[in-house]
Amino acid sequence: MSDGKTGLQLRSLLKKSGELELSLVSIVTPEPAEDEVVVRVEATPINPSDLGLVIGPADMSTAKVSGSKESPVVTAKMPEAVMRMMAARLDQSLPVGNEGAGTVIRTGSSDVAKGVMGKTVSVIGGAMYSQYRTMNVKDVMELPAGTTAADGASWFVNPLTALSMTETMRRENHKALVHTAAASNLGQMLNKVCIKDGIDLVNIVRSKEQADILHKIGAKYVVDSTAAGFMDDLTNALAETGATIAFDAIGGGKLAGQILTGMEIAANKTAKVYSRYGSSVHKQVYIYGGLDTRPTELNRAFGMAWGIGGWLLFPFLMKIGPAEGQRLRQRVVDELKTTFASHYTQVVSLQEALQLDHIAVYGKRATGEKYLINPNKA
């Protein structure tokens, strides 16, 4: 086994010419400072949020692979239309991968750093598609005995997002919530959190198959936006649960506005007096994804007490501060094999992650297909 003094790292480079290049570079592992540790990365998931940076909106039908088997290079064309939005990343070779897990193989001199020597740890902090990562010890989390790196790889993005959604709900004084694209890996996790915590969750899906997935894990409120009675089904679920906050991964089209309209109708079912400004109940939709890239269309038939906005995990964690964040992280680690368990359909090396047949599968971002990279796979 390598001493970890150097290691491979996956890079994404978008050239001014519009060519996207994915490659592996060999980098020297920085020696750990006092409070730092070197982690041998053994498991790091490919999340939709990672793909946004690795591939983004590149046209992967134009993808070609060159280089050697040990050091493949993938190139693909970025559509002209999106290049303007990419100005700030042009000609920079960017490391990628948000989260992962592995073994601490070297530490700095502080007691807290030395305390995790040899331990299996989960890690957050970017550039995880690397064989070795030198991290501040505060960004690693020791895993309980019997927990593997694969168990702990997806410990941050989806679990913390699910917990932060229910946390946002509480902090903004709502009592139940709505989630769209609800059969996703994240959506299933959110159902498990809500069932465990006794929170009513209205799941909006786009097919009967997705509804079935959620019913099978115990979801009570599942409405299908492609069904004829969608608005009635949605409004009934909103009235029954009293949900007045939604997290929306779709973004485009009329869905966000339909959710607000349903909430307003539900609120007015119990209103006592006429107000031409509509119900005084505040209705909120947070858009955290853009599966539908069309414009968001709001008919504003939902009174004046409403808000829509962007929502991201990291700014939310900044807002609640490190102590609260630590509480959420600890819950994830405690429930890694239950509430927050992830299932992977493939485990690949860094080189395999750059094979076109694999890219074709994980690049689809399909529900039920989830890849794990092991950068130190033998």
Interface with a second copy (CB under 8 A)? 52-53, 56, 85, 88-89, 92, 94, 251-252, 257, 268, 271, 273-277, 280, 287-288, 290, 295-301, 303-312, 315
Q: How far is the CB of 27 from a second copy (least distance, A)?
A: 20
In the complex, least distance from residue 127 CB atom to a second copy, rounded to whole angstroms: 14
Task: Compare residues 54 and 143 and give the one whose CB is closer to a second copy.
Answer: 54
Q: Pairing relation of β-strands 346-348 and 371-373?
A: parallel
User: Min. distance of Cβ 78 from a second copy in angstroms?
Assistant: 13
When the beta carbons of 112 and 312 are compared against a second copy, the nearer one is 312
C-alpha 276/C-alpha 345 separation (Å) is 53
d(CA 37, CA 133): 8
Give the nearer residue to a second copy in terms of CB position, either 316 or 362: 316
Coil, strand or helix: which one is 106? Answer: strand
Residue 96 is which amino acid? V
Based on CB atoms, which residue is closest to a second copy, 143 or 267? Answer: 267
Let me know: does 132 contact 39? Beta carbons within 8 Å.
yes
DSSP symbol at 130: B
Q: How far is the CB of 126 from a second copy (least distance, A)?
A: 12
Of 216 and 276, the one with the shorter C-beta distance to a second copy is 276
Task: Look up residue 202 and give its amino acid.
Answer: V
Give the residue with the Cβ less far from a second copy, 51 or 195. 51
**Least spacing, CB of residue 235 vs a second copy, in Å:** 14
Angle formed by the axes of helices 185-197 and 157-171, nearest 10°: 50
Find the shortest distance in angstroms from Cβ 274 to a second copy: 4
Nearest distance from C-beta of residue 293 to a second copy, angstroms: 8
Q: How far is the CB of 171 from a second copy (least distance, A)?
A: 15
Q: Provide the sign of the torsion angle of the four alpha carbons 99, 102, 106, 110, taken in this order.
A: positive
What are the beta bridge partners of residue 99?
A: 124
Beta-carbon contacts of 334 under 8 Å, excluding residues fewer than 6 positions away, are 144
Is residue 289 a contact partner of residue 250, using CB atoms and an 8 Å limit?
A: yes
What is the SS3 assignment for 95?
strand
- How far apart are the C-alpha atoms of 215 and 219, rounded to whole Å? 5
Residues 6+ apart with CB under 8 A from 361: 346, 369, 371
CB of 260 to a second copy, least distance (A): 10
Question: What is the C-alpha to C-alpha distance for residues 336 and 189, in angstroms, rounded to an integer?
Answer: 11
Nearest Cα to Cα of residue 226 among 210, 213, 209, 207:
207
- For residue 240, give the nearest of 329, 304, 176 by alpha carbon: 176
Which residue number, 170 or 319, has a Cβ lying nearer to a second copy?
319
> Looking at beta carbons only, is 146 or 315 nearer to a second copy?
315
Nearer to a second copy, 86 or 347 (CB): 86
